[in-house]
Amino acid sequence: MTEIDAYVDGVRQALSGLSAEVRDELLEDLPEHLAEVRAEGSGTLVERLGTPEAYAAELRATAGLVGDFPEPPKPRYPELIEARDNILEILRKVDVRVGPVIGYEKAGDFLRLLRPAWWVARGYLAAMAIAFLLQANRGNMGLLPRIGDSDLVALVLLAGCVTLSIILARRSPDLTRTPRYALRAGTAFLIIFALAGFQTADSHARNENGGANYVDYSGSNPYSNISDVFVYDGQGRLVNDARLFDQEGNPIRLGDNHCDDPITGESGRSVHLGYPYCPVNAPFTDPNTRTPQPSASTSASATPTATPTPTAPSSPAVSPSPSR
C-alpha cells in the first residue's frame, strides 16, 4: 500500500459516519489531489496536510462543496520552511547544471544508479558499528565486523546487515513518519561513524613505520636540537644499532638519520638501522679502540736491550816456538 492509498483509507475511515454516497463524492478526486500535493514539495502527506482525521474534519465542513478540497494547514515554522525551500531550489539548479558534466540530464539520475551500492555500504557500516560496540579489543578489528575474533560470525553479521539494509531501502517509501525518521537518524549515525573510522585508520596508516608507531619527541622540548643519540654500556663501550622505546613500547625517534662524510663533506642517509646514525661522531672514545699510554716501568721493560754486536775473532797470536 502506497502512502497515498494509506492516507485515502484513513480519511475514508474517519468519514464513516457519512452516507456512502456523500463519502464517495468527497473521496472521488482525493487521490489525484494528494498526488498533486505530493509532487509540489518534499515531506510526507501527514506533514503537509495533517493527519487523515484532521483532513476528514475539513472535508466534513465542506460537504456541500464536493470537489473543493481544503487548503493545507499553514506550517508551524514558516521561516524554516522557506529556508528549506530555498535550499532545495538551489540544489535543483545545481542538479541540472552538474548532470551534463558527468553525462546525465541531471546529477540525481547518476546518484540514483548508486543507490544499491549505498545500501550495501550502509549494511557494512551497520555491521562494523555493532561489532565495534560488542568487541572487547576494539583496536584489532580489521576490515571485517569480527566479534570474538571469529571470521564466521563476522561473515554472518555482515550478510545479515546488508540484507536488512536492502530490505529497508525497498520498503522505505511505505514507512510511516516515526520509522522513516528513525531510519534517517540511524543513517546519519552510520555516516558519522564511518568518518570517525576513516580518520582513525588514516592516522594509523600515516604513523605506521615498519609495523610500529613511532613517537616523535622532536617538538618544543629540551631535546629538540638533538641530531643523533649515542648509547654506551657500563664499560664505556659504544653500542651500535641501539633502539629506544618509551613506557608504552613505542619506538622513540630522535634526530635526523643523515650523516656528513668527513672527507667529502656530503650529506647522505645513514646505513644504520638504530642509534647512532653516525658512529664516527661519537663524543667519547671506545675503550676498546683507545691506544694505551705506556707507563715508565713498562717502557723500561718494553725497551729492547741492545744486542752486542759480535766482534770478528782476532787472529791467534803466534807464540814463539821454544828454542832448542
Could you list the pLDDT tens digit for every one of the 324 residues in the chain? 678 888 888 888 888 777 777 777 778 888 888 887 777 766 678 777 788 888 888 777 766 544 444 555 666 777 888 888 889 889 989 999 999 999 998 898 899 899 999 999 999 999 999 998 887 666 666 788 888 878 899 999 999 999 999 999 888 877 888 888 899 999 999 999 999 988 888 877 776 554 444 445 544 566 667 878 888 888 888 888 888 888 888 888 787 777 877 777 777 777 777 888 888 888 887 666 554 455 444 444 444 544 444 444 444 444 444 443
pLDDT of residue 124: 95
pLDDT of res. 118: 93
Spatial contact of 11 and 52, defined as CB atoms under 8 Å apart:
yes
Residue 151 lies in a domain: yes
191: in domain: yes
Give domain status of residue 296, yes or no: no
Residues 201 and 125 placed together within one structural domain of the fold: yes
In a domain, 303, yes or no: no
Q: Are residues 195 and 269 in the same domain?
A: no
| Residues 185, 140 share a domain | yes
Q: 232 and 282, same structural domain?
A: yes
**Which of 287, 199, 192 has the alpha carbon at shortest distance from 236?**
287
The 3 state secondary structure assigned to the chain is CCHHHHHHHHHHHHCCCCCHHHHHHHHCCHHHHHHHHHHHCCCCHHHHHCCHHHHHHHHHHCCCCCCCCCCCCCCCCHHHHHHHHHHHHHHHHHHHHHHHHHCCCCHHHHHHHCHHHHHHHHHHHHHHHHHHHHCCCHHHCCCCCCECCEHHHHHHHHHHHHHHHHHHHHHHHHCCHHHHHHHHHHHHHHHHHHHHHHHHHHHHHHHEECCEECEECCCCCCCCCCCCCCEECCCCCEECCECCECCCCCEEECCCCEEECCCCCCEEECCCCCECCCHHHCCCCCHHHCCCCCCHHHHHHHCCCCCCCCCCCCCCCCCCCCCC
Is 319 within the bounds of a domain?
A: no
Structural domain boundaries, residue 54: 1-73
Q: Quote the CA–CA distance of 64 and 51 in Å, as a whole number.
A: 22
Side-chain half-sphere exposure of 305, counting CA atoms within 13 A = 3
Q: How far is CA 150 from the centre of its chain?
A: 23
Task: Give the whole-angstrom CA distance, residue 182 versus residue 184.
Answer: 5
Pair (214, 285) in one structural domain:
yes
Residues 67 and 80 in one domain: no
Residue 324 lies in a domain: no
Are 47 and 61 in a shared domain?
A: yes
| Beta-bridge mates of residue 66 | none
Could you tell me the pTM of the whole model?
Answer: 0.45
Q: Is residue 240 a contact partner of residue 272, using CB atoms and an 8 Å limit?
A: yes
**Is 57 within a domain?**
yes
How many whole angstroms separate alpha carbon 238 and alpha carbon 233? 7
- The residue from 190, 206, 222 where one domain ends is 206
Same domain, 55 and 88: no
Same domain? 132 vs 174: yes
How many distinct structural domains can be found in the chain?
4
Specify whether 48 is located in the same domain as 80.
no
Q: Which of 253, 142, 246, 154 is nearest to 201 (CA)?
A: 142
Same domain? For 7 and 54 the reply is yes
Same domain, 234 and 272: yes
Q: Is 86 exposed, middle or buried (0-12, 13-18, 19+ CB in 10 A)?
A: exposed
Q: What residues contact residue 290 under an 8 Å CB cut-off, 6+ apart?
A: none
| Under 8 Å between Cβ of 125 and 132 | no
- Residue 301: inside a domain: no
* Domain end position, chosen among 149, 184, 206: 206
